[in-house]
Structure 1
Amino acid sequence: MTEPVRIHWTEGEQTRSARWRSESGAAPPRKVQVADDTLTADAAFRLASEGTAILWRGDFQNARQLLQALARRTDKPKKEKKSRPDAAPVSPLDAFNLHRQAQSQRARTLAMLVLEFDGSHHIALRRAPDVSQACTEAYGPGDAAQGAYVTSLRELLGLISAHEWRKKGVEIAALSGERIHPHYGVFAPVRGEYLALAADTPLPPALASASLAFDIGTGTGVLAAILARRGVQQVVATDQDPRALACARENLVRLGLAGRVELQQVDLFPPGRATLVVCNPPWVPARPSSPIEYAVYDPDSRMLRGFLQGLAAHLVPGGEGWLILSDLAEHLGLRPRSELMAWIDAAGLQVLSRVDTRPQHPKAGDAADALHAARAAEVTSLWRLAAHAAP
């Protein structure tokens, strides 16, 4: 086992250290300054902008307020330079890259406010809540023998939010209002339009005689649950992420579907062939900036291309592949439609039909959003694919 990364700081004329923990994959800060309630927001912003971590020793609720103050300063609009009359307009791709760059810088700055935890996931600050359960769900059980660790307050708030999502769950209309409970690090099925596509598209007639489906990249297990509720007798759901498989297993048990859905930890396809193979890959072909973002970003369209290339070999005669995909990448200039069609053709597949729907999330109508033009034009589709008949 590799030794845990540690950060070091001076406090009370003593040199101290602790394990560095970051689920987002953030590098440990090189400089650490101990601070309390006397630190002003402006001074904190200067330190964070310079890459100096602020190890908080004051009141916990004051730390939350300070983080909000840092966010306001980070989000403050910068004065725009006057553009030349002949300057080319910003392309959608440039707008996306600038947006990602700003997001990354914002995340780095806000991650500079850090807290120390003991090995049992407790925080020794005034008015600090009990966060041990939220930390256990993300980090695993506490271990006092491993000693203290440090992580960012922003990450902790993400853990707390994920814990609440996990407790309350997400109501799924396609499951008659029953709830899916996402775990930390597993993409929550909050966009109901793509689930409605899977719930409403007519099933392949061949399922009547061979009722087996594959759900590739199952995540929370929501699509596998929808297929089982629609009458598919056996579903094999796959994922590479142990967290996703644990999440899917818990959801399927809660829904009473554990006997109908088999979970496998594999990359893409399980062995064998099925009558229906469903995949909802990450929609944006860009490099994730953290492990958690792999649910949203698919570097070089690896999962999408892998699904298409392997689909024909995993379909029974008369079977269908359902690819659920947004065209947001096309509107951002990241992947043209012609490239997608070329991949489908090269994989020996044909398009039987396509069912489209418009997004319903708030950002689609937010004109202030940096990517508004692309989001407003976005269409989510279920592509019904089949293998070309042998000549």
Structure 2
Amino acid sequence: MIQINWYEKNKTQAADWQSEAGNPPPKAVVIADDTTKADEAYRLACEGTALLYRGDFQNAKQLLQAITRRVDRKPAKPVETMLEAFHQHRARQIGRANITNKVLIELKYGVCDLPRAPDVKVAVQAALTMDGHSLDKLPARLVLSLRELLGMVGAHEWRKKGVAIQALRSTIHAYYGVYSPVRGEYLDLIDQAPLNQPQVAWDIGTGTGVIAAILVARGVKQVIATDNQPRALACANDNVQRLNMQTNIQVQQADLFPAGKADLIVCNPPWLPAKANAPIEHAIYDPDSQMLKGFLNGLKTHLNEQGEAWLIMSNLAEEIGLRAPEALLGWIDAAGLQVIDKQDVAPKHAKATDQSDPLYAARAKEVTSLYRLKCA
């Protein structure tokens, strides 16, 4: 692992550095404790200096919250278009992360020895070993941002609890770094779309495996679920085992399609054509619509005669101005496909009604659709 260095106790210290987003370790690090004032911490963080916390863990959380409040106080600039609002919102998110990630915590073999610190070892172990690279033991000294550590702990609690999926009458458990199926409206579309008794179905970009599981619950006997991320593959396999669907679902590593052909091919690609700035964001952002275009352009090769493809998409990109209104139908036509049916549903998530959200005007018009496609 990459090392982070800092000066403490009259000598240079070193530890392994962890950053989920792949950020390099900060070059300037100072020691912070319970006497550190929020204004001074905020100033240092804005200048690029990280603060390695040596005081009470709960006070470290309060300092992080205080820095976050100061970041959020900066007013947004007036914008004229929704596209400008989107780019400003993304820039503010990135800037916020850059500053708030400057509060650091050291773990020793996965244990935080600060006063009033929770037991984080299991959560950290799960986060660091579910990327396909199992660790025999956690590093003797590991430094990461407090914000990332809290994300690991929160994700582990959600993983244990799971997300209730009505179509399965069961729960799906998302690993750290794997997008959780909290937006149930697109799953309702999968559960309700006309199903023409396919013998073999594929779920492209399976993530947690939830779509593959719904297809099996609807009677599909054989489903191949693909993904190119080791964490997602491990997560999908775990959920398949939990649901006792291992005889029906085969999880495979692939960039898009497995070998062969299928009667039904389903894909819920990232909905927004923009750059991802962290691994988890690859489930939301698809630069230049690469996955979407790759899926559409590969269907004629992989669909059986009379086979059908289901594409689940939101029109949020069109409402924001990231994609031209006619672009998607143009790509479908250029791929030699035709739309035989389209089913729509309005979003139910909290942001759709949150008028304080910078993208509220676009979210209020959002529609999630399932396109049923066939070869032209």
Q: For this structure pair, what is the TM-score category when the shorter chain's length is used for normalisation? A: over 0.9
Q: 2:230 aligns with which of 221, 242, 247?
A: 242
Distance (whole Å) between structure 2 residues aligned to residue 67 and residue 162 of structure 1: 19
1:338 is displaced (CA, Å) by 1.3
From 81, 84, 93, the counterpart of 1:91: 81
- After superposition, residues 75-90 of structure 1 pair within 5 angstroms as 75-78=72-75, 90=80
Alignment of 1:133-212 (within 5 A): 133-140=122-129, 146-176=139-169, 178-204=170-196, 207=197, 210-212=198-200
Contact kept in structure 1, 2:110 and 2:139, CA below 8 Å? no
SS in 2 for 1:183: coil
The one of 107, 115, 120 aligned to 1:131: 120
Instruction: Name the SS of the counterpart of 1:182 in structure 2.
Output: coil
CA separation of 1:42 and 1:268: change in aligned 2, threshold 3 A: same
- State whether residues 263 and 308 of structure 2, in contact with CA within 8 Å, keep that contact through their aligned partners in structure 1: yes
Give the Å deviation of 1:342: 1.3
Q: Determine the structure 1 residue equivalent to 2:50.
A: 53
Per-residue CA deviation, residues 154-191 of structure 1 (Å, 9 max, x unaligned), is: 00000001001110000011112x10000011000000
- TM-score (norm: length of structure 2): 0.96
Aligned residue identity for 1:107 = A
Instruction: State how far apart, in whole Å, the 2-side matches of 1:77 and 1:98 are.
Output: 12
- Identity of aligned pairs, percent? 54
Alpha-carbon shift at residue 142 of structure 1 (Å): 5.7
Q: 1:64 aligns with which of 56, 61, 65?
A: 61
Give SS of 2:85's match. helix
Matching residue of 1:347: 335
CA RMSD of aligned residues (A): 1.4
| 1:112 pairs with 2:112 | no
Distance verdict in 2 for CA 1:79–1:216, change over 3 Å: closer
**Whole-angstrom distance in 1 between the partners of 2:35 and 2:135:** 31
- CA distance in structure 2 between the aligned counterparts of 1:212 and 1:90, rounded to whole angstroms: 49
Does the aligned pair in 1 maintain the 2:274–2:287 contact within 8 Å?
yes
Evaluate the alpha carbon distance shift between residue 180 and residue 289 of structure 1 in structure 2; reply closer, same or farther with a 3 A threshold.
same
2:119 aligned partner, one-letter code: D
What is the one-letter code of the residue matched to 1:53?
A
Whether the 8 Å contact between 2:125 and 2:138 is mirrored in structure 1 is: no
Determine which of 334, 338, 347 is the counterpart of 2:322.
Answer: 334
Q: For each residue in 1:185-220, what CA deviation from the matched residue of structure 2 results, as whole angstroms up to 9, or x when unmatched?
A: 10000000000000001102xx3xx51100000000
How big is the shift at 1:17? 1.4
What is the SS of the residue equivalent to 2:356?
A: coil
Q: Give 1:305's aligned residue.
A: 293
Query: Is 1:213 the counterpart of 2:170 in the alignment?
Result: no
Q: Alpha carbons of 1:96 and 1:145: their partners in 2 closer, same or farther (altered >3 Å)? A: closer
Deviation, 1:12, is 1.9
**Alpha-carbon distance in structure 2 between the residues aligned to 1:146 and 1:344:** 49
The 2-side partners of 1:282 and 1:57 are apart by 40
Q: How many residues align?
A: 372
Deviation per CA, 1:4-53, whole angstroms, max 9, x where unpaired?
32221111221111121101222211100011100011111111111100
Distance 2:145 2:201 in 1: 42
Contact between 1:285 and 1:298, CA under 8 Å: does it hold in 2? yes
Distance 1:265 1:144 in 2: 26
**TM-score normalized with structure 1 length:** 0.93
Question: Is the 1:121–1:142 Cα contact (8 Å) retained in structure 2?
Answer: no
Find out whether 1:30 has 2:27 as its counterpart.
yes
Structure 1 counterpart of 2:219: 231
Instruction: Give the match's secondary structure for 1:337.
Output: coil
Structure-2 residue corresponding to 1:86: none
In 1, distance between residues paired with 2:345 and 2:266? 17
